[in-house]
Amino acid sequence: MTDNLNLPPFEPKISEQGGKTSVWDPVRKLWTPLTPEEHVRQAFVAYLVNYKNYPISHIANEQAISLNSMSRRCDSVVYDKSGTPKVIVEYKRPNVTITQKVFDQIARYNLVLHVDYLIVSNGLKHYCVRMDYNAGKYTFLQDIPQYAEL
């Protein structure tokens, strides 16, 4: 299923639900429509859990936040052991180019959560930045950090 993505292979649970293909989301513990963006989310979460040692219990998918009195949803948020948000991940379909507009979207979410890392992925390209609030800047990282590094 991840043949066309730049992520390690994984075996999602797939089902036909009401004539539509659905995938089991082990984070939310529910079946969700298998859209191209959801495909990227499931592959990326599997990568974080299986290769970067992120505890699945510390990941929230479709995390609701309030931004300027409007309800928004972060695609994924990773929390540390104390429940503090550390990472926001924004997913796009593989055919969506990751642009400044995508980073602007995740940066707006970060006004609320104030995390250390922002990750954007379309399944083919993955960008991770580490925030440095004291210096008022961010640094692009070569790789996604291990959970223990957060």
Span 14-142 CATH architecture: Alpha-Beta Complex (3.90)
Classify residue 83 by burial, with Cβ atoms within 10 Å: 0-12, 13-18, 19+: exposed
Does this model's pTM top 0.75? My answer is: yes
Residue 54: CB atoms within 10 A of its CB come to: 24
The string of pLDDT tens digits covering residues 105-119 is 899 999 999 999 999
Torsion angle in degrees (nearest 10) through CA of 100, 91, 118, 147: -160
Whether the Cβ atoms of residue 132 and residue 138 lie closer than 8 Å to each other: yes
The string of pLDDT tens digits covering residues 14-46 is 999 778 999 999 999 999 999 999 999 999 999
